[in-house]
Structure 1
Amino acid sequence: MTTIRDRFCPKCGGPSDEEGLCAKCQAADTQWAECDTRVTSTHCPSCGATKQVNTWTDTNRERAELAPDLARTAVHFHPDVKKRAISVEIQDISPNRSRAYLTITGTLYGHSVDKTCMVELAWNKEQCDRCNRITGSYYEGIVQVRAEERTISIFEMQKAAAIATQIEETLQEGGERLSFISDMTETRDGLDITVGSQHIGLLIVQGITAQLGGRYTTHPKLVGEKCGRQIFRITYLVRLPRYQRHDVVKLGRTYAEIEQVDSRHVRVFDLSEGRSRSIKEEDIVRMIGNVRNAEPALIAYVSAGMMGLLDPATGATREVPKKPWQIVNEGENVQVLRDGDTFIVMR
């Protein structure tokens, strides 16, 4: 019967657990780790994105953070190596070159192994796909934000711009690097947003109409052909409603604050009755203003269904009816809009 005492290493003559070389000699004869002499990192000088093979990825990491990880990619281990560890020291030698000194350790066939190597890191610059499109004035669509039969308000313009920017940030964080906004311009008629993809254009118009109301239409234009595929640029036209949220309008002998507008009806809060209801757009006599432009007026007294308000412009006391739904107290402020000599108290 063969025992472990009968097995010996043909190289060193020592005992072996298996036929052939012992673990120590196997480890000594195995190329357990190799280092590439040079590795390259390509980054965009404009936005800092890094390129891996043919794919660009956004990153906020600086060169000092990237260098150790880049150096570790130069090491290739034998599959039998366990407990692998690599320590790295970086020395910058020029703006586009660094040297990495690596200490590599592990265990192979139960024996500890270690080695050192030096790797040159090359830092290449190349304009990324997104920056290349932006600088080349490439775009796939324009979102035009306008208002129906009126001038778009500053609030609406700022809100539309904020919605577009938020959508761009969300898409970029999700990896859609080519879904970008290359330009945002305020015009006499409204806001123009130039976009790098049709996907972001569609999401922007859907976001704006969802929050500000209105409707949108798309107008594609054939601009060429590439690889047998037709290339279109799309104009997305957003038409904000004639009336916007928080507009105050006159309805016959009463006033109301607009809450929501759709294609058929307008939902308002009746400032006389203190309730919400739906009306038709043609029921509106005229526009008074918007709640955002209301002025604070101090309540001097409340008595017998009337309120005495101090006119913020003159300081004189103006008496207005107190509606049953209004809960107000002397010494408080209420928001008011003017319709000629009439004070309209907001809710």
Structure 2
Amino acid sequence: MNATIKDNFCPKCGKPTQNPGLCTDCKIGSTPWFTCDHRVQNTQCPSCGATKQVNTWTDSTLERSEIGSELARTAVHFHPEVKKPTIDVTIVDISINRSRANLTLHGTLYKQPVEGTCSTEILWHKEQCDRCNRISGSYYEGVIQVRADGRLPSTFELQMSASIAQQIEDTLQSGGERLSFISDMNETRDGIDIIIGSQHIGTKISQGIISQLGGRYTTHPKLVGEKNGRQLFRITYSVRLPRFQKHDVVAVKNRYYEIERVESHHIRTFDLAEGSSRSVRDDDVERIIGNARSSESALVAFAESTTIGIMDPVSCQTHEYRRPAWLEVKAGDHVGILRDGDTLVMVR
């Protein structure tokens, strides 16, 4: 059936049309296919560069030019019928706190290409973020106190504790936990204190330290106030490293052992004479000779099948010892030693 005149002609411009009602050109002309906000704002922390959206802070490494382009695009709102929209942005700085973004818009509306332009003003606002505000105000939610049982922590243990804490902080920050931060670390006479910004990071760091160095930890909460009807606590995380640490060399019944692992009431050791592994009770240890990480280097003066000559690096005197079963060296090589009085103890 043939179309009628009313169906074939646009009632607005009179042009022929295959669609009921207005033709495509008149549809496009009567449809505001985009709107553009006159002003957009960026809120950025001057200390760390984090950006704020509504009430949420997000860490950002973007430059001002990249932020400006993305922010300007958010000022444009397209009609739902616009397909494949694109926005080209040119930014001109007006002052240190204001910029002008000129936008060129392209798209397809009712299967016809459309093009337009608009501009928006970008306001650059500075505000200290939640994390930097807490750090600068010396805010903290807990202290991790790393100590050792019956001794002072070694330099290695202090460095490892600090490294573990920093790694956990980096992991949590990368995962979006902005308030899980370390505000300070201080070495004390007895160990190291780690000041932390959230209870979650306190638990994570305490667990990380004992998983690497052994020991245990306990928590001691203290009520410090109330906010919005909620009690506020600061927690002391008391991390106690074990009496012995890995690679300690101990004397047990006139024999020397290097500790491989610390267990509940036993230590797993390496016999420095026989080269075998065995468990030793904590109470059987007579004394700690030192730690193999801190060993001196000594010259092997001679090496035979059952005896070995070690030159004392201090006195330059050669001492003869039974050759350890695990040690394969020749004259001119060097071995690690610890001192037990006048005795030189060879370590791995």
- Is the 8 Å Cα contact of residues 4 and 16 (structure 1) preserved in structure 2? no
Farther off after superposition, 298-307 or 138-147: 298-307
Pairing 1:331–2:332 present: yes
Cα deviation, 1:70-90, whole Å, max 9, x if unaligned, reads 000000000111121100011
Decide which moves more: 281-290 or 219-228: 219-228
1:225-282 CA-to-partner distances (Å, cap 9, x unmatched) read: 2222211111000111111111111111100111121331111111122122111111
Shift in Å, 1:312: 2.0
Residue 78 of structure 2 is aligned to residue 82 of structure 1: no
Which stretch shows the higher mean deviation, 12-21 or 213-222? 12-21
Find the aligned partners of 1:136 and 1:113 in 2 and give their Cα distance.
Answer: 53
Describe how 1:104-183 pairs up with structure 2 within 5 A: 104-183=105-184
In 2, Cα distance between equivalents of 1:225 and 1:232? 9
TM-score (ref. length: structure 1): 0.97
**252-261 or 301-310: which moved more?**
301-310
CA RMSD in angstroms comes to 1.4
**What is the distance in 1 between the residues matched to 2:324 and 2:273?**
7
- Please report the TM-score for the alignment, with normalisation by the length of structure 2: 0.96
SS class of match (2:237): strand
3-state secondary structure, aligned to 1:94: coil
The AA in structure 1 aligned to 2:30 is: D
Distance in structure 2 (CA, Å) of the matches to 1:163 and 1:269: 27
Counterpart for residue 211 of structure 1? 212
Partner of 1:233: 234
| CA–CA separation in structure 1 for the residues paired with 2:4 and 2:207 | 77
Q: Is the 8 A contact 1:214 1:262 kept in 2?
A: no
Verify: 1:251 aligned to 2:252, yes or no. Answer: yes
Partner of 2:264: 263
| Distance change in 2, residues 1:20/1:296 (3 Å) | same
Aligned match of 1:2: 2
Identify if the C-alpha distance between structure 1 residues 346 and 317 changes in structure 2 by more than 3 Å, giving closer, same or farther: same
Aligned-pair identity in percent equals 61
Structure 1 residue identity aligned to 2:222: K
Greater shift in the superposed pair: 260-269 or 168-177 = 260-269
1:301 shift after superposition = 2.2
Shift of the 4–113 alpha-carbon distance from structure 1 to 2, 3 Å rule, reads farther
- What is residue 12 of structure 1 aligned with on the other side? 13
Letter of the 2:2 partner, please give it.
T
- Partner Cα separation in structure 2 for residue 296 and residue 106 of structure 1: 75
**Cα distance in 2 between the residues matched to 1:48 and 1:2:** 67
Counterpart-to-counterpart distance in 1, 2:302 and 2:280 = 34
Matches within 5 A, 1:268-279: 268-279=269-280
CA distance in 2, matches of 1:277, 1:249: 13
AA aligned to 1:2 is N
Alignment correspondent of 2:343: 342
1:190-201 pair list within 5 angstroms: 190-201=191-202
Structure 1, residues 36-75: CA drift from partner, whole Å, max 9, x if none? 0100010111111100011000011121211100000000
User: How does 1:274-285 map onto structure 2 within 5 Å?
Assistant: 274-285=275-286
Seen in structure 2, the aligned counterparts of structure 1 residues 289 and 4 have a Cα distance that, compared at 3 Å, is farther
- Equivalent residue number for residue 302 of structure 1: 303
Post-superposition CA distance 1:302-327 (Å, at most 9, x none): 21411122322233332221122322
Give the whole-Å Cα distance in 1 for the aligned partners of 2:225 and 2:325. Answer: 65
CA distance in 2, matches of 1:130, 1:279: 48
Partner of 2:56: 55
Residue identity opposite 1:129 in structure 2: D
Does residue 37 (structure 1) correspond to residue 38 (structure 2)? The answer is yes
Q: Runs of 5+ in structure 2 lacking a partner?
A: none
**What is the CA deviation profile of residues 197-223 of structure 1, one whole-angstrom value per residue up to 9, with x for unaligned ones?**
111001111001111111111101111
Q: Distance in 2 between matches of 1:23 and 1:310?
A: 99
Deviation at 1:4, TM superposition (A): 8.7
How many residues are paired up?
Answer: 347
1:24 CA drift (Å): 1.6
Look up the match of 1:103. Answer: 104
